[in-house]
């Protein structure tokens, strides 16, 4: 094993790596700490308090409607995106993995395109289509939801397809040999095997939706359809209070709890099933 060859540990590389990790995480930790500031400043920390979360009667996240509304909007968007995108993406993944022919190749390319399209291009495209063509769709939340689903489908397909390729057809063939019809084989054999991948993709859709700024912003109609990233964008430059940091921190905690739970469930599922260890990380890298 090259890695265990005795003697030389690359200390230079190790230093760069740890410095990078500090650099990537410390600013966020500082921003989180500022959310607990008792004073108004977003740059200097005075003392610890929950002021910007609950206790300030007007300006805390809990009492300021202009902060609560984006939080609700973001969570609603993310939840509905998950619910709608996952079935569309999973069926599309199974279909594309097995469908043969020219149309299938074209569909596959179509599915990959949103992954490489810069957000601003997709944002402009959706903005124009909803103002010029699909004018019957109520602008704001509905169009934002449609937009989020559009950029999320491909993530689900990529992740689930990776897992499908690893599973191979033999389990389903066995089920068919034992008398199951195609749908039964899919429902009873394939879907449970896909469980961890579906779970992973649900989380990626959730995080993608929560994180999205460009699409939400292009399809927004004002305060009623403002999301958390939009609020941060609008408030970060102006003279905002640490309540903005508190809002961002709440969002981050939501995401990390969701991801943590998902990781636990996935570990359980995988322990029961075995196999596919690196699939999740691989798929994340593919998506990234």
Partner 1 sequence: MANAAGAAPGGHRNGFWGALSLPGVAWLLALFVVPFYAIAAVAFGQVDPILRTAAPVWGPWSWNFSAMSKVISRVFGGDLAGVVVRTLSYVGVSLALCCLIGYPVAYYVARHASRWRGVLLAALVLPFWISYLMRMLAWVNLLQVDGYFNRLLGWLHVGGSRNWLDGNWPTVVIGLVYGYIPFFILPLYAALERLDKRLIEAGRDLGASPRRVFQRVTLPLSVPGLMSASVITVLPMFGDYYTNTFLSSGSPKTEMMGNQIERYLRGTSQPQTGASLVLILSAMLLVLMTYYLVVTVRAQRAVAT
Q: Whole-angstrom Cα distance, residue 226 to residue 221?
A: 8
The stretch near partner 1 (CB under 8 A) out of 38-46, 57-65, 192-200, 267-275 is 38-46
Residue whose CB is less far from partner 1, 43 or 274: 43
Per rule CB under 8 A, is residue 248 in the interface with partner 1?
A: yes
Residue whose CB is less far from partner 1, 59 or 148: 148
SS3 23: helix
Number of chain residues interacting with partner 1 (CB under 8 A): 109
278 CB neighbour count, 10 Å cutoff: 9
Per rule CB under 8 A, is residue 28 in the interface with partner 1?
A: yes
Residue whose CB is less far from partner 1, 59 or 146: 146
Minimal distance, residue 161 CB to partner 1, in Å: 7
Per rule CB under 8 A, is residue 265 in the interface with partner 1?
A: no
Which residues from 107-166 bind partner 1, rule CB under 8 A?
A: 107-122, 124-129, 131-133, 146-147, 149-150, 153, 157, 161-162, 164-165
Rg over alpha carbons for the chain, rounded to the nearest Å, is 23
Angle subtended by helix axes 243-273 and 11-34, to nearest 10: 130
Burial class (CB in 10 A: 0-12, 13-18, 19+), 192: middle
Residue 273: partners with Cβ closer than 8 Å, 6 or more residues away: 193, 195, 196
Which residues from 73-102 bind partner 1, rule CB under 8 A?
A: 88-89, 91-92, 94-101
Minimal distance, residue 171 CB to partner 1, in Å: 9
Q: Distance of CA 201 to CAs 86, 157, 161, 188, Å?
A: 8, 8, 11, 20
Which residues from 181-220 bind partner 1, rule CB under 8 A?
A: 182, 185, 207, 210-211, 213-214, 218
């Amino acid at each position: 094993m090259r890695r265990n060859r005795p003697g030389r540990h690359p200390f230079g590389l190790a230093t760069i790596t740890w410095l990078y990790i500090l650099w990537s995480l410390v600013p966020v930790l500082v921003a989180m700490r500022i959310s607990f500031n008792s004073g108004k400043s977003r740059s200097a920390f005075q003392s610890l308090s929950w002021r910007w979360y609950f206790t300030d009667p007007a300006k805390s996240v809990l009492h300021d409607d202009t902060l609560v509304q984006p939080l609700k909007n973001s969570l609603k968007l993310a939840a509905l995106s998950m619910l709608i995108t996952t079935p569309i993406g999973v069926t599309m993944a199974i279909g594309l993995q097995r469908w043969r022919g020219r149309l299938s190749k074209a569909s596959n390319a179509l599915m990959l395109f949103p992954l490489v399209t810069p957000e601003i291009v997709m944002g402009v495209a959706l903005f124009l289509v909803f103002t010029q063509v699909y004018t019957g769709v109520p602008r704001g939340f509905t169009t934002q939801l449609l937009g989020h689903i559009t950029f999320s489908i491909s993530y689900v397909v990529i992740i689930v397809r990776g897992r499908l390729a690893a599973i191979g057809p033999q389990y389903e063939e066995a089920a068919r040999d034992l008398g199951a019809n195609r749908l039964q084989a899919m429902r009873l054999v394939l879907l449970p095997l896909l469980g961890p991948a579906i779970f992973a993709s649900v989380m990626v859709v959730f995080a993608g939706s929560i994180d999205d700024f460009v699409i939400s912003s292009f399809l927004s109609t004002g305060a009623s359809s403002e999301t958390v990233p939009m609020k941060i964008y609008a408030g970060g430059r102006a003279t905002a209070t640490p309540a903005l940091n508190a809002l961002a921190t709440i969002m981050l905690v939501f995401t990390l709890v969701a991801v943590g739970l998902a990781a636990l469930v996935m570990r359980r599922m995988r322990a029961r099933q075995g196999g596919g260890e690196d699939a999740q990380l691989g798929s994340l890298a593919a998506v990234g």
